[in-house]
Amino acid sequence: MTDLLSSLNERQREAVTTTEGPLLIIAGAGSGKTRVITVRIAYLISERHVAPHNILAVTFTNKAAQEMRDRVNKLLGGQKLAGAPLVSTFHSLCVRMLRRDIEKLEEGYTRSFTIYDQDDSVRVVKACIKDLGYDDQRLGARQTQGAISHAKNSGLDADAYAARVEAHDERRAAVARVFKLYEERLVNNNALDFDDLLIKAVRLLRKREEVRAHYNERFRYILVDEYQDT
Ligand SMILES: Nc1ncnc2c1ncn2[C@@H]1O[C@H](COP(=O)(O)OP(=O)(O)OP(=O)(O)O)[C@@H](O)[C@H]1O
Ligand SMILES: [Mg+2]
């Protein structure tokens, strides 16, 4: 234990050893926040005897997740573990949850859903624009996809977006129709775009008590790096 904590200053040590209850750490760039999270995971496992399986760490990029895994492994230095903590990005965590339970959303999706990246989304939007007979010079696919994505992230579905379009705003009315068709095509293709991954995972947790219970039970300790960006 002294080994684990010896690489930390006093404030960091406090952050690592305060393991129970919610804890928010605010500190400047490069001040050692990620190091704290990494040591905290190792500390929970080796000093508080938390099962690795009960720990979830969330980061923003796959690279950060991989780095964190490597650093935790190094800190635990060859200790034989019963399982590993789950270190994941928000998106891959959502994919996991949806691969397990998306059918419980009852929106027509199955567990073998496809994921559309941004380029795929733009392609589908472009086809929708064309099939609705709009001029894709005037209604750009990339821009339209951006508007749809922004709406989805603000919690608007296609109908809610359409309801907000003002009568004289032809451009937004066109976007609304593209949005609606785009969403229909995604469901028909059993496909989720990047925004859906987050939206549908949250919806699943809200909707299904037993899914919530499952993750409450499993993830006793949740650590989020770069929380300010969530
Ligand atoms: N107590 C410490 N003693 C010596 N070096 C440290 C200490 N804490 C962190 N470092 C080093 O400082 C650098 C930055 O640490 P870290 O990446 O954890 O900071 P951060 O706050 O997460 O940074 P960012 O804001 O970029 O995410 C790393 O090289 C890390 O190993
Ligand atoms: Mg960091």
Q: What is the mean pLDDT of residues 46-73?
A: 94
Q: Report the domain count for the chain.
A: 2
pLDDT at 230 over 80: no
In a domain, 157, yes or no: yes
Average pLDDT of every residue of the chain: 94
In a domain, 92, yes or no: yes
At residue 81, the pLDDT reads 81
In a domain, 195, yes or no: no
Phi/psi at 7 (nearest 5 deg)? -85, 10
In a domain, 62, yes or no: yes
Token pair 């037993």: residue: 210
Phi/psi at 192 (nearest 5 deg)? -120, 135
Q: Are residues 94 and 123 in the same domain?
A: no
CATH number at residue 19: 3.40.50.300
For 223, the 3-state DSSP assignment is: strand
Query: Whose CA is closest to atom 25 on ligand 1?
Result: 29
Taking CB atoms and a 6 Å cutoff, what residues make up the pocket around ligand 1?
7-9, 12, 27, 29-35
Q: Are residues 9 and 94 in the same domain?
A: yes
Q: Are residues 21 and 95 in the same domain?
A: yes
Q: What is the mean pLDDT of residues 8-26?
A: 94
Q: Are residues 47 and 127 in the same domain?
A: no
What does the DSSP 8-state code read for residue 91?
H
Atom of ligand 1 nearest to the CA of 30: 23
In a domain, 104, yes or no: no
Q: Are residues 87 and 172 in the same domain?
A: no
In a domain, 200, yes or no: no
- Ligand 1 pocket mutation, candidates 35, 36, 71, criterion most atoms within 8 A of CB: 35
Q: Are residues 66 and 139 in the same domain?
A: no
Residue 32 CA, ligand 1 centroid: distance in Å: 3
Which of the ligands is closest to the CA of residue 15? 1
Give me 35's structure tokens. Answer: 């190091």
Residue 76 CA, ligand 1 centroid: distance in Å: 18
Q: What is the mean pLDDT of residues 205-225?
A: 97
Residue 200 CA, ligand 2 centroid: distance in Å: 28
Q: What is the mean pLDDT of residues 104-111?
A: 96
In a domain, 11, yes or no: yes
Question: What is the residue type of 224?
Answer: V
Q: Are residues 118 and 79 in the same domain?
A: no
- Which range marks the domain in which residue 71 is found? 2-99+208-229
What does the DSSP 8-state code read for residue 135?
-
CATH number at residue 143: 1.10.10
pLDDT at 202 over 90: yes
Q: Mind listing the pLDDT tens digit for each residue in 161-191?
A: 999 999 899 999 999 999 999 999 999 999 9
Please list, residue by residue across 190-228, b when 16 or more beta carbons sit within 10 angstroms of its beta carbon and e when fewer do.
ebbbbbbbbbbbeebbeeeeebeeeeeeebebebbbeee
Q: Are residues 61 and 146 in the same domain?
A: no
Residue 36 CA, ligand 1 centroid: distance in Å: 8
Q: Are residues 94 and 141 in the same domain?
A: no
Atom of ligand 1 nearest to the CA of 8: 1
Q: Are residues 95 and 7 in the same domain?
A: yes
In a domain, 108, yes or no: no
Q: Are residues 50 and 91 in the same domain?
A: yes
pLDDT band at 122 (very low <50, low <70, confident <90, very high): very high
pLDDT band at 203 (very low <50, low <70, confident <90, very high): very high
pLDDT over 70, % of the chain? 98
Atom of ligand 1 nearest to the CA of 38: 18
23 in Cβ contact with 15 (< 8 Å):
yes
pLDDT band at 2 (very low <50, low <70, confident <90, very high): low
Which of the ligands is closest to the CA of residue 25? 1
Q: Are residues 6 and 69 in the same domain?
A: yes
pLDDT at 84 over 80: yes
